[in-house]
Structure 1
Amino acid sequence: MTDHLDPGYAKAAAKESATKRGARSAQVWFAVGALLIGVSLGSARGWAELRADDTDSVRSALRTEVRAAQTRTAQLADERDELVEEISNARNMVLDLDGPDGAILEQVRRTQFAAASVPVRGPGIEVVLSEPAGERNTILDRDLQIVINSLWAAGAEAVSVGGVRIGPHVAIRQAGSAILVDNRVVPQPYVVSAIGEPRQVQASFLTSGAYMRMSGISQLYGVGFVVRDAADISMPAASVREVRIAQEQEDR
Protein backbone atom coordinates (compact mmCIF):
# COMPACT_ATOMS: atom_id res chain seq x y z
CA MET A 1 0.00 0.00 0.00
CA THR A 2 2.97 2.37 0.65
CA ASP A 3 5.13 1.49 -2.40
CA HIS A 4 3.24 3.26 -5.21
CA LEU A 5 6.08 3.10 -7.83
CA ASP A 6 6.82 -0.03 -9.77
CA PRO A 7 10.44 -1.24 -9.22
CA GLY A 8 11.10 -1.13 -12.98
CA TYR A 9 10.35 2.58 -13.12
CA ALA A 10 12.77 3.22 -10.23
CA LYS A 11 15.58 1.37 -12.03
CA ALA A 12 14.93 3.26 -15.26
CA ALA A 13 14.93 6.60 -13.44
CA ALA A 14 18.20 5.75 -11.65
CA LYS A 15 19.82 4.69 -14.94
CA GLU A 16 18.72 7.89 -16.67
CA SER A 17 20.10 9.96 -13.79
CA ALA A 18 23.47 8.16 -13.96
CA THR A 19 23.61 8.68 -17.72
CA LYS A 20 22.99 12.41 -17.30
CA ARG A 21 25.71 12.63 -14.64
CA GLY A 22 28.17 10.79 -16.97
CA ALA A 23 27.30 13.12 -19.86
CA ARG A 24 27.79 16.18 -17.67
CA SER A 25 31.12 14.78 -16.42
CA ALA A 26 32.29 14.14 -20.00
CA GLN A 27 31.29 17.67 -21.00
CA VAL A 28 33.24 19.08 -18.07
CA TRP A 29 36.35 17.09 -18.96
CA PHE A 30 35.99 18.05 -22.63
CA ALA A 31 35.79 21.73 -21.68
CA VAL A 32 38.84 21.40 -19.43
CA GLY A 33 40.80 19.62 -22.17
CA ALA A 34 39.83 22.24 -24.75
CA LEU A 35 40.91 24.97 -22.35
CA LEU A 36 44.28 23.32 -21.76
CA ILE A 37 44.84 22.83 -25.48
CA GLY A 38 43.95 26.47 -26.14
CA VAL A 39 46.36 27.65 -23.47
CA SER A 40 49.12 25.43 -24.90
CA LEU A 41 48.56 26.62 -28.47
CA GLY A 42 48.46 30.22 -27.36
CA SER A 43 51.70 29.84 -25.42
CA ALA A 44 53.36 28.06 -28.35
CA ARG A 45 52.27 30.78 -30.74
CA GLY A 46 53.54 33.51 -28.44
CA TRP A 47 56.85 31.68 -28.04
CA ALA A 48 57.12 31.18 -31.81
CA GLU A 49 56.43 34.86 -32.45
CA LEU A 50 59.11 35.85 -29.96
CA ARG A 51 61.56 33.37 -31.46
CA ALA A 52 60.76 34.54 -34.99
CA ASP A 53 62.21 37.96 -34.27
CA ASP A 54 65.32 36.37 -32.78
CA THR A 55 65.66 34.00 -35.74
CA ASP A 56 65.39 36.85 -38.24
CA SER A 57 68.02 38.80 -36.31
CA VAL A 58 70.38 35.83 -36.22
CA ARG A 59 69.85 35.13 -39.93
CA SER A 60 70.52 38.77 -40.82
CA ALA A 61 73.66 38.80 -38.67
CA LEU A 62 74.92 35.61 -40.29
CA ARG A 63 74.34 37.01 -43.77
CA THR A 64 76.28 40.12 -42.84
CA GLU A 65 79.15 38.02 -41.51
CA VAL A 66 79.18 35.87 -44.65
CA ARG A 67 79.32 38.94 -46.92
CA ALA A 68 82.11 40.43 -44.82
CA ALA A 69 84.05 37.15 -44.97
CA GLN A 70 83.62 36.94 -48.75
CA THR A 71 84.81 40.51 -49.17
CA ARG A 72 87.82 39.84 -46.94
CA THR A 73 88.63 36.66 -48.88
CA ALA A 74 88.57 38.58 -52.15
CA GLN A 75 90.84 41.26 -50.71
CA LEU A 76 93.30 38.66 -49.44
CA ALA A 77 93.32 36.96 -52.84
CA ASP A 78 94.15 40.27 -54.53
CA GLU A 79 96.94 40.92 -52.02
CA ARG A 80 98.30 37.42 -52.61
CA ASP A 81 98.41 37.99 -56.38
CA GLU A 82 100.20 41.30 -55.90
CA LEU A 83 102.79 39.72 -53.60
CA VAL A 84 103.36 36.86 -56.03
CA GLU A 85 104.01 39.37 -58.80
CA GLU A 86 106.41 41.36 -56.59
CA ILE A 87 108.32 38.20 -55.70
CA SER A 88 108.54 37.23 -59.35
CA ASN A 89 109.86 40.66 -60.36
CA ALA A 90 112.41 40.69 -57.53
CA ARG A 91 113.59 37.20 -58.48
CA ASN A 92 114.04 38.23 -62.12
CA MET A 93 116.18 41.18 -61.06
CA VAL A 94 118.46 39.04 -58.90
CA LEU A 95 118.92 36.03 -61.15
CA ASP A 96 121.06 35.91 -64.26
CA LEU A 97 118.44 35.15 -66.88
CA ASP A 98 121.03 34.50 -69.60
CA GLY A 99 122.91 31.92 -67.56
CA PRO A 100 121.99 28.76 -65.66
CA ASP A 101 119.61 30.75 -63.51
CA GLY A 102 117.43 31.35 -66.55
CA ALA A 103 116.84 27.63 -67.06
CA ILE A 104 116.00 27.16 -63.40
CA LEU A 105 113.65 30.12 -63.49
CA GLU A 106 111.88 28.73 -66.55
CA GLN A 107 111.42 25.41 -64.77
CA VAL A 108 109.99 27.23 -61.74
CA ARG A 109 107.57 29.10 -63.99
CA ARG A 110 106.36 25.91 -65.62
CA THR A 111 105.86 24.33 -62.21
CA GLN A 112 103.94 27.35 -60.92
CA PHE A 113 101.77 27.38 -64.01
CA ALA A 114 101.03 23.67 -63.68
CA ALA A 115 100.10 24.21 -60.03
CA ALA A 116 97.92 27.22 -60.97
CA SER A 117 99.74 29.22 -58.31
CA VAL A 118 100.22 32.36 -60.43
CA PRO A 119 97.64 34.62 -62.13
CA VAL A 120 97.23 34.21 -65.90
CA ARG A 121 95.68 36.17 -68.72
CA GLY A 122 94.92 35.43 -72.34
CA PRO A 123 92.29 34.60 -74.98
CA GLY A 124 90.00 31.59 -74.87
CA ILE A 125 86.35 30.61 -74.65
CA GLU A 126 83.59 30.74 -72.05
CA VAL A 127 80.85 28.19 -71.37
CA VAL A 128 77.86 29.78 -69.63
CA LEU A 129 75.33 27.57 -67.81
CA SER A 130 72.17 29.01 -66.22
CA GLU A 131 69.24 27.48 -64.36
CA PRO A 132 65.76 27.50 -65.96
CA ALA A 133 63.42 30.27 -64.80
CA GLY A 134 61.96 29.42 -61.40
CA GLU A 135 64.01 26.24 -61.05
CA ARG A 136 66.96 25.26 -58.87
CA ASN A 137 69.40 22.37 -58.75
CA THR A 138 68.89 21.48 -62.40
CA ILE A 139 72.60 22.05 -62.95
CA LEU A 140 74.64 19.76 -60.71
CA ASP A 141 78.25 19.77 -59.61
CA ARG A 142 79.04 16.82 -61.85
CA ASP A 143 77.83 18.81 -64.88
CA LEU A 144 80.45 21.47 -64.18
CA GLN A 145 83.07 18.78 -63.55
CA ILE A 146 82.32 17.15 -66.91
CA VAL A 147 82.50 20.48 -68.74
CA ILE A 148 85.82 21.38 -67.07
CA ASN A 149 87.41 18.01 -67.81
CA SER A 150 86.30 18.32 -71.42
CA LEU A 151 87.88 21.79 -71.68
CA TRP A 152 91.16 20.43 -70.32
CA ALA A 153 91.02 17.65 -72.91
CA ALA A 154 90.26 20.25 -75.61
CA GLY A 155 93.57 22.00 -74.94
CA ALA A 156 92.72 24.58 -72.29
CA GLU A 157 95.79 25.87 -70.46
CA ALA A 158 93.89 27.36 -67.49
CA VAL A 159 90.28 27.05 -66.31
CA SER A 160 88.15 28.94 -63.81
CA VAL A 161 84.51 28.82 -62.66
CA GLY A 162 82.87 32.06 -61.62
CA GLY A 163 86.30 33.65 -61.23
CA VAL A 164 87.63 30.82 -59.04
CA ARG A 165 90.71 29.21 -60.58
CA ILE A 166 90.76 25.45 -60.94
CA GLY A 167 93.96 23.92 -59.60
CA PRO A 168 95.21 20.52 -58.40
CA HIS A 169 93.67 20.98 -54.94
CA VAL A 170 90.40 22.67 -55.96
CA ALA A 171 87.18 20.65 -55.65
CA ILE A 172 83.69 21.30 -57.02
CA ARG A 173 80.86 20.11 -54.79
CA GLN A 174 77.14 20.49 -54.27
CA ALA A 175 75.88 21.96 -50.99
CA GLY A 176 72.10 22.01 -51.00
CA SER A 177 71.02 24.45 -53.69
CA ALA A 178 74.51 25.97 -54.01
CA ILE A 179 77.62 24.84 -55.87
CA LEU A 180 80.94 25.31 -54.08
CA VAL A 181 84.19 25.76 -55.94
CA ASP A 182 87.19 25.60 -53.59
CA ASN A 183 84.66 25.93 -50.71
CA ARG A 184 83.37 29.20 -52.14
CA VAL A 185 79.79 29.66 -53.32
CA VAL A 186 79.67 30.38 -57.05
CA PRO A 187 76.58 32.32 -58.17
CA GLN A 188 74.75 31.40 -61.31
CA PRO A 189 74.86 31.75 -64.23
CA TYR A 190 77.95 29.58 -63.96
CA VAL A 191 80.65 30.97 -66.24
CA VAL A 192 83.36 28.41 -67.02
CA SER A 193 86.32 30.22 -68.58
CA ALA A 194 89.14 28.45 -70.42
CA ILE A 195 92.34 30.12 -71.62
CA GLY A 196 93.82 28.61 -74.75
CA GLU A 197 93.83 28.92 -78.53
CA PRO A 198 90.13 29.83 -79.03
CA ARG A 199 89.49 28.03 -82.31
CA GLN A 200 91.21 24.83 -81.24
CA VAL A 201 89.57 24.70 -77.81
CA GLN A 202 86.12 25.53 -79.14
CA ALA A 203 86.31 23.07 -82.04
CA SER A 204 87.39 20.24 -79.76
CA PHE A 205 84.78 21.10 -77.13
CA LEU A 206 81.92 21.22 -79.68
CA THR A 207 82.64 17.61 -80.65
CA SER A 208 82.98 16.34 -77.08
CA GLY A 209 80.61 14.25 -75.00
CA ALA A 210 80.25 17.12 -72.53
CA TYR A 211 78.82 19.34 -75.26
CA MET A 212 76.32 16.65 -76.29
CA ARG A 213 75.34 16.11 -72.65
CA MET A 214 74.73 19.79 -71.91
CA SER A 215 72.89 20.26 -75.21
CA GLY A 216 70.54 17.42 -74.25
CA ILE A 217 69.98 18.84 -70.76
CA SER A 218 69.32 22.25 -72.30
CA GLN A 219 66.66 20.86 -74.65
CA LEU A 220 65.00 18.64 -72.04
CA TYR A 221 65.00 20.95 -69.01
CA GLY A 222 65.44 24.45 -70.42
CA VAL A 223 68.94 24.97 -69.00
CA GLY A 224 70.78 27.92 -70.51
CA PHE A 225 73.85 26.71 -72.41
CA VAL A 226 76.05 29.11 -74.38
CA VAL A 227 79.57 28.72 -75.77
CA ARG A 228 81.27 31.97 -76.78
CA ASP A 229 84.69 33.38 -77.61
CA ALA A 230 86.50 35.56 -75.11
CA ALA A 231 89.32 37.77 -76.34
CA ASP A 232 90.76 38.59 -72.92
CA ILE A 233 90.32 36.40 -69.86
CA SER A 234 92.00 37.13 -66.51
CA MET A 235 92.28 34.47 -63.85
CA PRO A 236 93.65 34.74 -60.32
CA ALA A 237 95.94 32.19 -58.77
CA ALA A 238 94.33 29.09 -57.34
CA SER A 239 94.53 28.06 -53.70
CA VAL A 240 97.82 26.30 -53.07
CA ARG A 241 98.19 23.92 -50.13
CA GLU A 242 101.50 23.58 -48.36
CA VAL A 243 103.42 20.48 -49.41
CA ARG A 244 105.11 18.98 -46.35
CA ILE A 245 106.50 15.77 -47.85
CA ALA A 246 107.41 15.14 -51.49
CA GLN A 247 109.64 12.59 -53.14
CA GLU A 248 110.67 12.52 -56.77
CA GLN A 249 109.98 9.21 -58.46
CA GLU A 250 112.45 7.57 -60.79
CA ASP A 251 111.52 7.24 -64.44
CA ARG A 252 110.41 3.76 -65.39
Structure 2
Amino acid sequence: MADADRLLGGYDPNAGRSAHAAARPQLIPVPSLLRALLSEHLDPGYAAAAARRGGADAPRRGRERAFGWLWEALAALLIAAVFAAAVAQARSVAPGVRDAQQLLLQSVRSSESTAARLGKERSALTARVDDVQRRALAENAEGRRLLTRLDALSLAAASTAVIGPGLTVTVTDPGAGPNLSDVSKQRVNGSRQIILDRDLQLVVNSLWASGAEAISVGGVRIGPNVTIRQAGGAILVDNTPTSSPYQILAVGPPHGMRDVFDSSPGLQRLRLLEASYGVVVAVDVADGLSLPAGSIRDVKFAKQIGP
Protein backbone atom coordinates (compact mmCIF):
# COMPACT_ATOMS: atom_id res chain seq x y z
CA MET A 1 0.00 0.00 0.00
CA ALA A 2 1.33 3.44 -0.91
CA ASP A 3 1.97 6.09 1.74
CA ALA A 4 -0.60 8.38 0.14
CA ASP A 5 -3.25 5.65 0.43
CA ARG A 6 -2.32 5.05 4.12
CA LEU A 7 -2.74 8.75 4.87
CA LEU A 8 -6.18 8.64 3.23
CA GLY A 9 -7.42 5.99 5.62
CA GLY A 10 -5.81 2.76 4.37
CA TYR A 11 -8.04 2.05 1.33
CA ASP A 12 -6.33 0.23 -1.59
CA PRO A 13 -8.55 -0.25 -4.69
CA ASN A 14 -6.45 -3.26 -5.86
CA ALA A 15 -6.62 -5.04 -2.52
CA GLY A 16 -7.89 -8.58 -2.86
CA ARG A 17 -7.32 -8.86 -6.60
CA SER A 18 -5.17 -11.62 -8.10
CA ALA A 19 -2.89 -10.46 -10.90
CA HIS A 20 -1.91 -14.05 -11.83
CA ALA A 21 -5.40 -15.52 -12.12
CA ALA A 22 -7.34 -13.20 -14.42
CA ALA A 23 -10.18 -15.70 -14.94
CA ARG A 24 -11.01 -15.99 -11.32
CA PRO A 25 -13.62 -13.78 -9.73
CA GLN A 26 -12.34 -10.60 -8.23
CA LEU A 27 -12.60 -10.23 -4.47
CA ILE A 28 -14.39 -7.26 -2.92
CA PRO A 29 -11.92 -5.11 -0.99
CA VAL A 30 -12.28 -4.80 2.80
CA PRO A 31 -13.82 -1.41 3.62
CA SER A 32 -11.13 1.05 4.66
CA LEU A 33 -13.15 2.37 7.68
CA LEU A 34 -13.30 -1.03 9.44
CA ARG A 35 -9.66 -1.71 8.64
CA ALA A 36 -8.67 1.69 10.04
CA LEU A 37 -10.67 1.10 13.28
CA LEU A 38 -8.93 -2.25 13.82
CA SER A 39 -5.40 -1.27 12.89
CA GLU A 40 -5.04 2.49 13.15
CA HIS A 41 -5.95 3.58 16.72
CA LEU A 42 -4.70 7.14 16.18
CA ASP A 43 -5.23 9.12 13.05
CA PRO A 44 -1.86 9.58 11.27
CA GLY A 45 -2.50 13.32 10.94
CA TYR A 46 -2.76 13.68 14.70
CA ALA A 47 0.42 11.67 15.20
CA ALA A 48 2.35 13.85 12.72
CA ALA A 49 1.09 17.09 14.33
CA ALA A 50 2.02 15.84 17.82
CA ALA A 51 5.52 14.92 16.63
CA ARG A 52 6.03 18.39 15.12
CA ARG A 53 4.74 20.12 18.28
CA GLY A 54 6.89 17.94 20.53
CA GLY A 55 10.02 18.83 18.63
CA ALA A 56 9.23 22.55 18.93
CA ASP A 57 8.26 22.46 22.67
CA ALA A 58 11.18 20.36 23.92
CA PRO A 59 13.49 23.36 24.62
CA ARG A 60 10.64 25.25 26.35
CA ARG A 61 9.84 22.28 28.63
CA GLY A 62 13.51 21.97 29.49
CA ARG A 63 13.62 25.63 30.53
CA GLU A 64 10.47 25.17 32.64
CA ARG A 65 11.99 22.19 34.45
CA ALA A 66 15.16 24.16 35.10
CA PHE A 67 13.15 27.07 36.57
CA GLY A 68 11.16 24.62 38.72
CA TRP A 69 14.34 23.10 40.13
CA LEU A 70 15.69 26.58 40.81
CA TRP A 71 12.56 27.63 42.76
CA GLU A 72 12.62 24.37 44.76
CA ALA A 73 16.25 24.96 45.69
CA LEU A 74 15.48 28.54 46.77
CA ALA A 75 12.52 27.36 48.89
CA ALA A 76 14.69 24.70 50.56
CA LEU A 77 17.36 27.30 51.34
CA LEU A 78 14.74 29.67 52.78
CA ILE A 79 13.29 26.95 55.03
CA ALA A 80 16.77 25.97 56.21
CA ALA A 81 17.56 29.62 56.99
CA VAL A 82 14.34 29.99 59.02
CA PHE A 83 15.07 26.85 61.04
CA ALA A 84 18.66 27.93 61.64
CA ALA A 85 17.47 31.35 62.87
CA ALA A 86 14.92 29.69 65.18
CA VAL A 87 17.55 27.37 66.66
CA ALA A 88 19.98 30.23 67.16
CA GLN A 89 17.29 32.34 68.85
CA ALA A 90 16.27 29.45 71.12
CA ARG A 91 19.88 28.90 72.15
CA SER A 92 20.37 32.59 72.87
CA VAL A 93 17.13 32.83 74.90
CA ALA A 94 17.59 29.56 76.84
CA PRO A 95 19.97 30.99 79.50
CA GLY A 96 17.59 33.85 80.21
CA VAL A 97 14.65 31.45 80.51
CA ARG A 98 16.58 29.28 82.97
CA ASP A 99 17.53 32.34 85.02
CA ALA A 100 13.89 33.47 85.08
CA GLN A 101 12.78 30.01 86.19
CA GLN A 102 15.33 29.96 88.98
CA LEU A 103 14.25 33.44 90.07
CA LEU A 104 10.59 32.43 90.14
CA LEU A 105 11.43 29.25 92.04
CA GLN A 106 13.35 31.23 94.65
CA SER A 107 10.48 33.69 94.93
CA VAL A 108 7.96 30.88 95.46
CA ARG A 109 10.13 29.21 98.09
CA SER A 110 10.65 32.52 99.85
CA SER A 111 6.89 33.18 99.86
CA GLU A 112 6.22 29.70 101.23
CA SER A 113 8.73 30.13 104.05
CA THR A 114 7.31 33.58 104.85
CA ALA A 115 3.77 32.20 104.92
CA ALA A 116 4.84 29.35 107.20
CA ARG A 117 6.60 31.76 109.56
CA LEU A 118 3.59 34.09 109.67
CA GLY A 119 1.31 31.12 110.28
CA LYS A 120 3.35 30.08 113.29
CA GLU A 121 3.31 33.63 114.63
CA ARG A 122 -0.45 33.80 114.17
CA SER A 123 -0.92 30.51 116.01
CA ALA A 124 1.26 31.73 118.88
CA LEU A 125 -0.62 35.03 119.13
CA THR A 126 -3.96 33.23 118.96
CA ALA A 127 -2.89 30.97 121.83
CA ARG A 128 -1.83 33.98 123.91
CA VAL A 129 -5.13 35.77 123.24
CA ASP A 130 -7.08 32.63 124.16
CA ASP A 131 -5.10 32.25 127.39
CA VAL A 132 -5.69 35.87 128.42
CA GLN A 133 -9.36 35.55 127.53
CA ARG A 134 -9.83 32.43 129.58
CA ARG A 135 -8.14 33.87 132.62
CA ALA A 136 -10.29 36.98 132.41
CA LEU A 137 -13.55 35.08 132.01
CA ALA A 138 -12.88 32.40 134.61
CA GLU A 139 -13.10 34.87 137.49
CA ASN A 140 -16.93 34.83 137.82
CA ALA A 141 -19.92 32.65 137.01
CA GLU A 142 -21.11 34.80 134.11
CA GLY A 143 -17.65 34.69 132.56
CA ARG A 144 -17.49 30.92 132.92
CA ARG A 145 -20.89 30.55 131.17
CA LEU A 146 -19.66 32.82 128.41
CA LEU A 147 -16.45 30.80 128.16
CA THR A 148 -18.45 27.60 127.77
CA ARG A 149 -20.44 29.23 124.99
CA LEU A 150 -17.27 30.43 123.29
CA ASP A 151 -15.80 26.92 123.44
CA ALA A 152 -18.87 25.51 121.71
CA LEU A 153 -18.71 28.19 119.04
CA SER A 154 -14.96 27.65 118.58
CA LEU A 155 -15.58 23.94 118.07
CA ALA A 156 -18.26 24.67 115.48
CA ALA A 157 -16.03 27.21 113.76
CA ALA A 158 -13.03 24.82 113.81
CA SER A 159 -10.89 27.57 115.29
CA THR A 160 -9.32 25.42 118.03
CA ALA A 161 -7.32 22.22 117.87
CA VAL A 162 -9.11 19.03 118.94
CA ILE A 163 -7.77 15.77 120.40
CA GLY A 164 -9.98 12.76 121.04
CA PRO A 165 -11.25 9.36 119.84
CA GLY A 166 -12.98 8.87 116.54
CA LEU A 167 -12.79 7.27 113.09
CA THR A 168 -10.10 7.26 110.44
CA VAL A 169 -11.20 6.79 106.83
CA THR A 170 -8.39 6.15 104.35
CA VAL A 171 -9.16 6.07 100.62
CA THR A 172 -6.46 5.07 98.12
CA ASP A 173 -6.62 5.34 94.34
CA PRO A 174 -5.76 1.97 92.74
CA GLY A 175 -4.49 3.13 89.36
CA ALA A 176 -6.02 2.93 85.88
CA GLY A 177 -9.46 1.39 85.75
CA PRO A 178 -12.49 1.03 83.48
CA ASN A 179 -15.12 3.73 83.22
CA LEU A 180 -17.98 2.04 85.07
CA SER A 181 -19.39 4.72 87.37
CA ASP A 182 -21.83 7.50 86.62
CA VAL A 183 -19.01 10.08 86.69
CA SER A 184 -17.03 8.52 83.86
CA LYS A 185 -17.33 11.70 81.78
CA GLN A 186 -15.27 13.57 84.36
CA ARG A 187 -12.49 10.99 84.42
CA VAL A 188 -9.68 10.50 81.95
CA ASN A 189 -9.04 7.07 80.48
CA GLY A 190 -5.84 5.65 81.89
CA SER A 191 -5.69 8.26 84.63
CA ARG A 192 -4.61 7.13 88.10
CA GLN A 193 -7.15 9.43 89.75
CA ILE A 194 -10.45 7.75 90.56
CA ILE A 195 -11.55 9.66 93.67
CA LEU A 196 -13.09 13.05 92.87
CA ASP A 197 -13.87 16.06 95.03
CA ARG A 198 -17.54 15.21 95.31
CA ASP A 199 -16.66 11.75 96.61
CA LEU A 200 -14.75 13.31 99.52
CA GLN A 201 -17.52 15.86 100.03
CA LEU A 202 -20.08 13.04 100.37
CA VAL A 203 -17.87 11.20 102.87
CA VAL A 204 -17.38 14.35 104.99
CA ASN A 205 -21.12 15.10 105.01
CA SER A 206 -21.85 11.49 105.98
CA LEU A 207 -19.40 11.75 108.89
CA TRP A 208 -21.09 14.95 110.08
CA ALA A 209 -24.43 13.17 109.91
CA SER A 210 -22.94 10.22 111.83
CA GLY A 211 -22.17 12.42 114.82
CA ALA A 212 -18.66 13.75 114.18
CA GLU A 213 -17.66 16.79 116.20
CA ALA A 214 -14.56 17.74 114.19
CA ILE A 215 -13.20 16.54 110.83
CA SER A 216 -9.96 17.00 108.91
CA VAL A 217 -9.10 15.95 105.34
CA GLY A 218 -5.45 15.54 104.44
CA GLY A 219 -4.41 17.38 107.61
CA VAL A 220 -6.67 20.38 106.89
CA ARG A 221 -9.44 21.12 109.36
CA ILE A 222 -12.92 21.31 107.88
CA GLY A 223 -14.80 24.41 108.98
CA PRO A 224 -17.59 26.70 107.79
CA ASN A 225 -15.44 28.47 105.20
CA VAL A 226 -13.47 25.43 103.99
CA THR A 227 -14.21 23.93 100.57
CA ILE A 228 -13.23 20.67 98.87
CA ARG A 229 -13.02 21.20 95.14
CA GLN A 230 -11.42 19.84 92.00
CA ALA A 231 -8.79 21.85 90.13
CA GLY A 232 -7.70 19.89 87.08
CA GLY A 233 -6.15 16.67 88.34
CA ALA A 234 -5.73 17.88 91.93
CA ILE A 235 -8.13 18.01 94.86
CA LEU A 236 -7.84 21.18 96.93
CA VAL A 237 -8.94 21.27 100.56
CA ASP A 238 -9.09 24.92 101.60
CA ASN A 239 -6.81 25.65 98.60
CA THR A 240 -4.27 23.10 99.88
CA PRO A 241 -3.46 20.28 97.40
CA THR A 242 -4.01 16.76 98.68
CA SER A 243 -3.35 13.46 96.95
CA SER A 244 -3.92 9.75 97.38
CA PRO A 245 -4.11 8.20 99.90
CA TYR A 246 -6.78 10.56 101.21
CA GLN A 247 -6.97 10.42 105.01
CA ILE A 248 -10.10 11.68 106.72
CA LEU A 249 -10.10 12.00 110.52
CA ALA A 250 -13.34 12.45 112.47
CA VAL A 251 -13.40 13.06 116.23
CA GLY A 252 -16.51 11.91 118.04
CA PRO A 253 -18.06 8.83 119.68
CA PRO A 254 -16.27 6.15 117.67
CA HIS A 255 -18.64 3.18 117.98
CA GLY A 256 -21.81 5.21 117.51
CA MET A 257 -20.26 6.96 114.50
CA ARG A 258 -19.16 3.62 113.05
CA ASP A 259 -22.65 2.13 113.27
CA VAL A 260 -24.27 5.08 111.49
CA PHE A 261 -21.45 5.58 108.97
CA ASP A 262 -21.58 1.93 107.83
CA SER A 263 -25.00 2.55 106.25
CA SER A 264 -24.35 6.12 105.11
CA PRO A 265 -24.37 7.29 101.43
CA GLY A 266 -20.70 8.24 101.72
CA LEU A 267 -19.49 4.75 102.61
CA GLN A 268 -21.85 3.17 100.08
CA ARG A 269 -20.31 5.39 97.42
CA LEU A 270 -16.82 4.30 98.43
CA ARG A 271 -17.86 0.65 98.35
CA LEU A 272 -19.23 1.12 94.83
CA LEU A 273 -15.91 2.63 93.71
CA GLU A 274 -14.12 -0.20 95.48
CA ALA A 275 -16.10 -2.83 93.56
CA SER A 276 -15.95 -1.00 90.21
CA TYR A 277 -12.42 0.40 90.20
CA GLY A 278 -10.55 -1.37 92.98
CA VAL A 279 -10.37 1.66 95.26
CA VAL A 280 -8.91 0.70 98.64
CA VAL A 281 -11.15 1.83 101.53
CA ALA A 282 -10.21 1.43 105.19
CA VAL A 283 -12.41 2.53 108.12
CA ASP A 284 -10.88 2.14 111.60
CA VAL A 285 -11.63 3.21 115.15
CA ALA A 286 -8.78 5.17 116.74
CA ASP A 287 -7.99 6.92 120.03
CA GLY A 288 -6.14 10.16 120.51
CA LEU A 289 -6.78 11.66 117.08
CA SER A 290 -5.25 15.14 116.78
CA LEU A 291 -6.92 17.65 114.50
CA PRO A 292 -5.33 21.08 113.92
CA ALA A 293 -7.16 24.35 114.17
CA GLY A 294 -8.65 25.68 110.99
CA SER A 295 -8.19 29.06 109.37
CA ILE A 296 -10.46 31.84 110.57
CA ARG A 297 -12.03 34.24 108.11
CA ASP A 298 -14.34 37.16 108.68
CA VAL A 299 -17.98 36.44 107.92
CA LYS A 300 -19.73 39.58 106.69
CA PHE A 301 -23.23 38.19 106.48
CA ALA A 302 -24.63 35.26 108.44
CA LYS A 303 -28.03 34.02 109.45
CA GLN A 304 -28.74 31.33 111.98
CA ILE A 305 -30.78 28.37 110.72
CA GLY A 306 -32.79 26.37 113.23
CA PRO A 307 -32.93 26.69 117.01
Q: TM-score range by the shorter chain?
A: 0.7 to 0.9
In structure 1, the residue matched to 2:209 is 153
- Give 3-state SS (helix, strand or coil) of 1:148's partner: helix
Mapping of 1:1-252 within 5 angstroms? 11-49=53-91, 51=93, 54-55=96-97, 57-59=99-101, 61-133=103-175, 135-244=191-300
Structure 2: gaps of 5 or more residues: 1-47, 177-190
Q: Percent identity?
A: 37
The one-letter code matched in structure 2 to 1:93 is R
Structure 1: gaps of 5 or more residues: 1-5
Q: CA RMSD in A?
A: 2.9
The separation in 2 between residues aligned to 1:132 and 1:63, in whole angstroms, is 32
The one-letter code matched in structure 2 to 1:141 is D
Answer whether contact 1:178 1:185 (CA < 8 A) is retained.
yes
TM-score after normalising by structure 2: 0.70
> C-alpha deviations, 1:110-165, integer Å up to 9, x for none?
11211111221212111112222474332211111111111111111011111111
Which of these two proteins has the greater Rg computed from alpha carbons? 2
The one-letter code matched in structure 1 to 2:229 is R
In the alignment of these two chains, the number of paired residues is 246
The separation in 2 between residues aligned to 1:41 and 1:133, in whole angstroms, is 42
The separation in 1 between residues aligned to 2:259 and 2:101, in whole angstroms, is 47
CA shift for structure 1 position 226: 1.7
TM-score after normalising by structure 1: 0.84
> C-alpha deviations, 1:203-229, integer Å up to 9, x for none?
221211111111221232232322223
Answer whether contact 1:124 1:198 (CA < 8 A) is retained.
yes
The one-letter code matched in structure 1 to 2:254 is P
CA shift for structure 1 position 72: 3.8
The separation in 1 between residues aligned to 2:258 and 2:108, in whole angstroms, is 37
CA shift for structure 1 position 30: 0.9
Change in CA separation of 1:74 and 1:195 when aligned onto 2, cut-off 3 Å: farther
